[in-house]
Amino acid sequence: MTAITVTIVGNVARDPELKTTSGGTLCAFTVASGERYRGDDGQWADGPVSWVRCCAWGDLGEHIAEAFAKGTRVVVTGTLRQREYEVGGAKRSSWEVNVTDAGRSLKFAAPKAAKATRATVPPSKDDPWQDDGDRPPF
């Protein structure tokens, strides 16, 4: 089955939940995505809202739990998956996004980025570009 890749832009509905499972670290959160349009009278109106459940695993999930909070405007990319479960003996299914990448939207906010320096981030021991003094510079 071919995976369906989707991109969702919207607001985080509530603070992300970080859980540790037998499969690893999981961050679950919901994104509310709505539309606005101009009505016949020329005024802006709110359209329907879609609530999209998102799941991120491992380091990505931990980063999302740290960076996102309720109300954060986000852009989420991932694969759409159908999940089946059972409640009270009745089988049910839901659709959710298995997150592959996520970030804050800059449409209504300015970023505050800080560049990491060599003093704060030590180079990797297997970094082929690290100057070990044995090689002449390029």
> What's the token pair of residue 79?
């694969």
Place 122 in a pLDDT band, splitting at 50, 70 and 90.
Answer: low
Buried b (16+ CB within 10 A) or exposed e, 56-75: bbeebbeebbeebeeebbbb
Over residues 67-78, mean pLDDT: 96
Mean pLDDT rounded to a whole number for the chain: 85
Given CATH 2.40.50.140, say whether it is the number of domain 4-36+43-104: yes
Query: pTM surpassing 0.75?
Result: no
Over residues 102-110, mean pLDDT: 87
Share of the chain above pLDDT 90, in %: 61
